[in-house]
Structure 1
Amino acid sequence: MNTLADNPVIIEALRTPIGTTGGVFADQTTTDLAAPVLGELDARLPTGTGFGEVVLGNVRGPGGDPARVAALAAGIDPAVPALTLDRQCGSGMAAIEYAWHRCRSQPGVVAAGGVQAASTQPITLWPGRDGEPPSSFDRAPFAPPPWLDPDMGVMADRLAAELHISRERQDRYALRSHTRASTARDAGDFDAEIVPIARVRRDQRPRSGFTMARLARFPAAFRPGGTVTAANSCGINDAAAAVTMVDAATHAHLATPGLRVLAARTVGYDPDRFGLGLVPAVRAALDDAGLGLDQIDALEFNEAFAAQVLACADALDLDEHRLCPRGGAISLGHPWGASGAILLVRLFSRLVREGAGRYGLAAISIGGGQGSAVVVEAVHPRGN
């Protein structure tokens, strides 16, 4: 019978800087972003080990299995297979969940993460009908009728209204995210987890000059009279992130610290209120791990919108100040296919590189009514 100690372990975790769409990575493809991360993970593998598979999340990108193309560009052995997954903004975490199941079922080493190059994403068109010209493909449908399938911002605004999450509280959360991220960036706190791309070494988006007065001047972004604005929402971004995961038996022979993945769960939820999708996923993952939120030392939730992440914190009876102590997606950015993997990179830095606790939790809500959560435990060669 397997125990939690038999679960796979993340032994390395890296990411690119996060760029704003049309910004520092305006010309970078999924391969340009993901290959350097995979190559650096490959270079850091313990002697005598090699990847058995590469799996990356990507949302509506260039096609052609971006994970395979990036792995080949990184110089990884062509004999190593690769897979690209699309679970919308949960894709990067889905890749890590896939790696977890694979490492539980067979020994080996897997590179898992995600990539999004929104700046160079191909333009997609619906074919014209009855002599009409093609029309632009603005966004993918997340749910069919009779679901309302609201836009993400509209959904967040509705949650804020339903749950009485004020504009001031949203702005204060956004200000805290930017302050935390810009402070951490300027102090070099992210440096150890970043692989430079095209001479870019720092995250582009965090703003140190925001104040509550400045945030209050932003208009409602998604519906008249709403409280969700461009400033208390995430951005559209470019980045890649990935981890190296090994099965428990392999890790037992390696003198390296890491994060044991105690639980990885994805659940379905109401497609019209998908911003709350991480809530049941968190509960399920914590139940699998036999832990409570009060035992978690490091919490990283994807901040799609201040209203959305605050709604999730309230539903879990969780102090919002515990979330993302060095900023989250509102300040750092939300590169869809990579965001779930970035959360795990942040946990690796906090719990392994910095030794700031034992247990960590990462979670993300997903368009279409899903949520994913991963619970980890810091382990050391002479520890647990």
Structure 2
Amino acid sequence: MPDEAVIIAARRTPIATRGRALADLRVEQLVGPVLQVVSADASAALGHGLHPADVVLGNCTGPGGNPARVSALAAGLGPEVTGATVDRQCGSGLAAIIDAATAIGAGDERPRLAGGVESASTAPVRSIDGVTYARAPFAPAGRPDPDMPAAADELARHDGIDRARQDAYAARSHRRARSAHESGRFDAELVPLGSATDDDAIGRAEALLPRLTPLAADGTVTAGTATRISDGAAAVALLPRRAAPGVPGLAIRGHAVVGCDPALPGVGAAPAITAALERAGVGIDQIAAVEIVEAFAAQVLAVLGRLDLADDDPRVCADGGALALGHPWGASGAVSVVRLFSRLVRGGARPGTLGVAAASVGGGMGVAAVVEVVA
């Protein structure tokens, strides 16, 4: 019988604001070292070498040409190790991990490395007939296709989320991240690259929040309640549970990808979490740790409202989220899984403890996964 997939190693780079410490690194240079360290961590946990069959990576704005395959080769994994690249925008890294787990659960029980990578600093300029454009469309002509800040403002109006709540949520994310950084809770998950040894955005916007001007004249979203565009990478090692007896890890118990109104894409994580919980056979009250990609404070607050969770629920992004750390689009969903691994496995949570990772996706989608601590 096919076996469930278990994550036994998880790492990420520091997250750097676009144009700063990681600006000169291409996608394979960002994620290649992470893949190497994750593979070494998994080998140490198993007591023998990990031999991954495939590398599955999320990426949104990279150069094309299958960055996952290029990154596998750059990591020195060998020409026999294949690669596949996933684009679900902000949910790409989580979707890649789900795809790798699904393959294992379907019977192809070879180990895999999965995650995401984004180099916003080196993303190519795109053009049609010589005319450049800022981003690819998230919906076809004639359908709603708002830019993400405008979509966050519209969601804030739709749900009655005022400026004060958004500022309070963003400030809390920075405080939690600063506490985690000062306490060393990020140390074991980080793979330093060159001069980048820590996340560079923590705390930068917190003191400025009350003074920032809204991005739109009629809106409430500011640069402080919108995450920074960033560079970074994250990856995990997955294999069948019976191939790792006694090794602590996270088993993927349920997952879901759902569609929602493309005019309000920020809500997608809520129905995705609900669907993933249903497939796992558990309720939100049984979840000990939640990681939601914090693209905008208004977006996270809208998701929490739909799940009947408080703005300051201590389970949600307990060490801060993307508002404090930054948002490397294709990697952020995988960063959420790395954070769950640190909070639950590295944190010594007892077997059976449950966590959720989720992201809302441009174009009107949501992706979520329920994980359980196993040993």
2:364 pairs, out of 361, 364, 369, with 369
What residue is the counterpart of 1:33 in the other structure? Answer: 30
What residue is the counterpart of 1:169 in the other structure? Answer: 165
DSSP-derived class of the 1:70 partner: helix
Matched, 1:14 2:5: no
How many Å separate the matches in 1 of 2:278 and 2:320? 27
2:214 pairs, out of 207, 215, 220, with 220
1:354 pairs, out of 323, 347, 364, with 347
Q: Following TM superposition, by how much is the alpha carbon of 1:179 offset from its aligned partner in structure 2, in angstroms? A: 1.1
- Structure 1 gaps of 5+ residues are 128-133
Contact 1:297–1:356 (Cα < 8 Å) also in 2: no
Contact 1:108–1:250 (Cα < 8 Å) also in 2: no
What residue is the counterpart of 1:90 in the other structure? Answer: 91
DSSP-derived class of the 1:272 partner: coil
- Structure 2 gaps of 5+ residues are none
Matched, 1:236 2:229: yes
Paired residue type of 1:281: A
How many Å separate the matches in 1 of 2:346 and 2:120? 30
After TM superposition, the structure 1 = structure 2 runs for residues 42-191 of structure 1, keeping only pairs within 5 Å, are 42-44=39-41, 45=43, 46=46, 47-105=48-106, 106-127=108-129, 134-191=130-187
- Provide runs of 4+ in structure 1 moved above 6 Å: none
Q: Following TM superposition, by how much is the alpha carbon of 1:60 offset from its aligned partner in structure 2, in angstroms? A: 2.2
What residue is the counterpart of 2:253 in the other structure? Answer: 262
How many Å separate the matches in 2 of 1:118 and 1:256? 36
1:284 pairs, out of 275, 279, 282, with 275
Q: Deviations over 1:313-355 (max 9, x none)?
A: 0011012323101110111011000000000000000100012
How many Å separate the matches in 1 of 2:190 and 2:40? 15
Contact 1:42–1:76 (Cα < 8 Å) also in 2: no
DSSP-derived class of the 2:263 partner: helix
Q: Deviations over 1:147-188 (max 9, x none)?
A: 221111111101111111110010000001111112211222
Q: Following TM superposition, by how much is the alpha carbon of 1:199 offset from its aligned partner in structure 2, in angstroms? A: 3.5
DSSP-derived class of the 1:120 partner: coil
How many Å separate the matches in 1 of 2:71 and 2:201? 25
Identical pairs, percent = 49
Contact 1:205–1:333 (Cα < 8 Å) also in 2: yes
Q: Deviations over 1:36-88 (max 9, x none)?
A: 00111222223143101111010020112111111111110211111111111
Q: Deviations over 1:80-105 (max 9, x none)?
A: 11111111111101100110111112
Matched, 1:250 2:251: no
How many Å separate the matches in 2 of 1:296 and 1:208? 31
How many Å separate the matches in 2 of 1:341 and 1:96? 7
After TM superposition, the structure 1 = structure 2 runs for residues 310-325 of structure 1, keeping only pairs within 5 Å, are 310-322=301-313, 323-325=316-318
Contact 1:61–1:116 (Cα < 8 Å) also in 2: yes
How many Å separate the matches in 1 of 2:77 and 2:137? 35
Paired residue type of 2:68: A
TM-score (ref. length: structure 1): 0.93
Contact 1:179–1:208 (Cα < 8 Å) also in 2: no
Q: Following TM superposition, by how much is the alpha carbon of 1:208 offset from its aligned partner in structure 2, in angstroms? A: 6.0
Moved more, 343-352 or 144-153: 144-153
2:200 pairs, out of 196, 199, 204, with 204
DSSP-derived class of the 1:238 partner: strand
How many Å separate the matches in 1 of 2:132 and 2:184? 41
What residue is the counterpart of 1:340 in the other structure? Answer: 333
What residue is the counterpart of 2:321 in the other structure? Answer: 328
Paired residue type of 2:211: R
How many Å separate the matches in 1 of 2:292 and 2:268? 12
Paired residue type of 1:10: I
RMSD: 1.4
Change (3 A) 1:25 1:342: same
Aligned length: 366
DSSP-derived class of the 2:300 partner: helix
DSSP-derived class of the 2:360 partner: strand
Query: In terms of Rg, which structure is larger?
Result: 1
How many Å separate the matches in 2 of 1:148 and 1:183? 40
Paired residue type of 1:148: P
How many Å separate the matches in 2 of 1:294 and 1:328? 21
